[in-house]
Amino acid sequence: MVYNGTIFPKYIKLHYRIIFSENMRNLLRTISKNLYSIVVAIIVVSLTILNVNLRLQNTELQQDKSLIKEEYAIDSLLGYKLNV
């Protein structure tokens, strides 16, 4: 398969000739047909990673919060006042 054409005909005359093998042509056809699915899959994976990161951060914050409560309880038992 040979494709001849020009890019930016008004500004730059850039002539190109692309020769694809049969396998490459089939690969490009498959990619173009499945481009929507590929984009959706990338978005889903990105959102999943973001969700996992936010859950980990939330867990760390909850642990820090409970640690502060424990320290405050120990300090109040010992009679110390926290200047927060």
List the chain domain ranges.
2-56
Its pTM surpasses 0.85: no
**Does the pLDDT at position 50 exceed 60?**
yes
Q: How confident is the model at residue 13 (pLDDT cuts 50, 70, 90)?
A: low
Q: State the average pLDDT for the chain.
A: 74
Q: For position 63, what pLDDT does the model report? A: 80
Class of residue 46 by CB neighbours under 10 A (exposed 0-12, middle 13-18, buried 19+)? exposed
- What's the average model confidence in pLDDT over 19-30? 78
